[in-house]
Amino acid sequence: MKFALTAPCLFGIESVLKKEIADLGYEILSVDDGRVVYAGDAAAIPRSNLHLRTAERVLLNVGSFEAKTFEELFEKTKALPWEDFIPKDGKFWVKKASSIKSKLFSPSDIQSVMKKAVVERLKKKHKTDWFPETGASYPIRVFIKKDQVSVGLDTSGEALHKRGYRTNTGIAPLRETLAAGIVLLSGWNKDRLFVDPFCGSGTLPIEAAMIAARMAPGLNREFLSETWTNLLERKAWMQAVDEANDLLDLEVQAQIQGFDKDYRMIRFARENAENADVANLIHFQERPVKELASSRKYGIIVTNPPYGERLEELQEVYGLYKELGKVCAQLDSWSVNVITSVEDFERHFGRQADKKRKLYNGMIKTTLYRYEGPKPPKGGQGYGHA
């Protein structure tokens, strides 16, 4: 059976997610702000949930249509083939409705109208006036943009950025999906030295280690659609897990380092890396940024330094950016990738970025500043400790 699937993502990561989906072998149907639509068979649902590093969740598309009134919304929702997706004992509700630049904008009203429409459709098709809702859960998610309604079932359950390894964090940590996207955007590969001088609770180094080890990010968690036996055979999940385990290489040679001046954060980072099963691939150490130095060439810095909120915090943050700029100036063959919400980062860092990309860390508007060093010669010399 062929399905249309939608993978929502954080704004700015669409191109990375598109490549991830294509690399899994699926046809891209469309790319929009914060979402990629693609075609796949039933196996695409477990494989996407297990392997996609930058998707926030995976939605099974039920249908799409235009609606400018609630009457239109009701009738066109009722016309969708809900019985093909939700069994007689299925538990279903409209989990979330989002609306952008549309005539219908009240989430609660959209949810209420659509739930009634689904009930009416299923009453007729399942020939019942009462639904026990004792079976599997089928949460419905709705996205309306410029009056175009897209309706899907959430196959993931908990958002995909919740990998399960992060038990301790600092203030405003990077979402795991964004961290993976930044690592993939940086151009880093396992043959180059990876350094995060503001590692906090370790998200960037951990995501880098998972990429190096070809570890599927969803390998150690569960997904809602594992219980959808009407749509997915259990063996599809087992085959996807077997595939992920076959790819996994925890013996991979990689040099990934995370530093932070706060020993408590280093302790958190080590615990999180243990939880993610990649502790053997990362060296964490208490070290302030001003002490960062290396004789190695062609390394890559990927980091999420403090942003600062209040004025007194900002002054300290500006000082950190200046220190970072100084140490990076000494690492003239290195590439540097910094994400921050501070708009005049380049002035304090002391250099204009080669590339800039707007990204959202949750609701925080940030910029990824990229400084591209020379490419290492074949054979890889960006290896070893900083």
The tens digit of pLDDT for each residue in 12-52 reads 999 999 999 999 999 999 999 999 999 999 999 999 999 99
> Please, what sign has the CA dihedral across residues 341, 346, 348, 351?
positive
Beta bridge partners of 60: 5, 153
Dist CA 342 CA 321 (whole Å): 10
CA distances in angstroms from 266 to 108, 209, 222, 307, listed in the order given: 43, 16, 28, 19
Alpha carbon distance 343, 366 (integer Å):
8
pTM of the model: 0.95
Tens digits of residue pLDDT in 328-338: 999 999 999 99
Mean pLDDT for all residues in the chain: 95
What pLDDT does 1 receive?
Answer: 82
C-alpha gyration radius of the chain: 23
CA angle 220, 226, 231 (to 5 degrees): 150
The Cα 258–Cα 260 span in angstroms is 7
C-alpha distances in Å from residue 279, one per residue of 196, 244, 276: 15, 19, 7
Query: Over the stretch 270-329, which tens digit does the pLDDT of each residue have?
Result: 999 999 999 999 999 999 999 999 999 999 999 999 987 666 688 899 999 999 999 999
Q: Are 95 and 157 in contact (CB under 8 A)?
A: no
